[in-house]
Amino acid sequence: MGTGYEPMSLARLAVLLASADGDQIRWKLVWEFLEEYRWESADTRVELVRDEPGLTGDARWDALLAALAEHLLAQADLAPPVWAESRVLRRVWFPAELAIHRADALAWAPAAFRKHGVYLSVNDLAAA
């Protein structure tokens, strides 16, 4: 008998981000997504990020979802999804509040995140 468990997709993450109360909860959801993603097979991982997520109501989080998809697919040597192209911030976003973390993000943000205007250190993704 199955457990009914399904790993979180980016589309599901977008729904949760849209209804979350505050950025602290949103970051916990992103980290939960990344943790579940890490445990899945390569084929399942691709399926979790391919489908276009709905908009969250906040362009920063929409760009983050696009950057995540592009970054994770690049790790599998796959092209970014077409839907991610338009989700680019006009003004860059540094999620980190401390200046030292912002400097780290400037130096270490993965290319996909820089492309979408989200300056998040690769160390922050690894810690997730």
Under the banding of pLDDT at 50, 70 and 90, the label for residue 47 is very high
Give me the mean pLDDT over the 87-110 stretch. Answer: 88
Q: Is residue 92 part of a domain?
A: yes
pLDDT for 2 equals 59
Q: Is residue 20 part of a domain?
A: yes
Q: Is residue 100 part of a domain?
A: yes
Q: Is residue 2 part of a domain?
A: no
Give me the mean pLDDT over the 48-59 stretch. Answer: 95
pLDDT for 59 equals 97
Q: Is residue 4 part of a domain?
A: no
Q: Is residue 63 part of a domain?
A: yes
Chain mean pLDDT for the chain: 91
Q: Which CA distances in Å does 91 have to 35, 39, 87, 101, 117?
A: 29, 34, 12, 18, 7
Query: Which range marks the domain in which residue 70 is found?
Result: 10-127
pLDDT for 80 equals 94
Higher-scoring residue by pLDDT: 95, 122: 95
Q: Is residue 3 part of a domain?
A: no
CA dist., res. 128 & res. 126, Å (int)? 5
Q: Which CA distances in Å does 9 have to 54, 65, 106, 126?
A: 12, 11, 28, 19
What confidence tens digit (pLDDT) does each residue in 7-32 have?
999 999 999 999 999 999 999 999 99
Q: Is residue 118 part of a domain?
A: yes
Name the domain count of the chain.
1
* Global model pTM greater than 0.85: yes
Kindly tell me if the per-residue pLDDT of 115 is higher than 80. yes
Kindly tell me if the per-residue pLDDT of 40 is higher than 70. yes
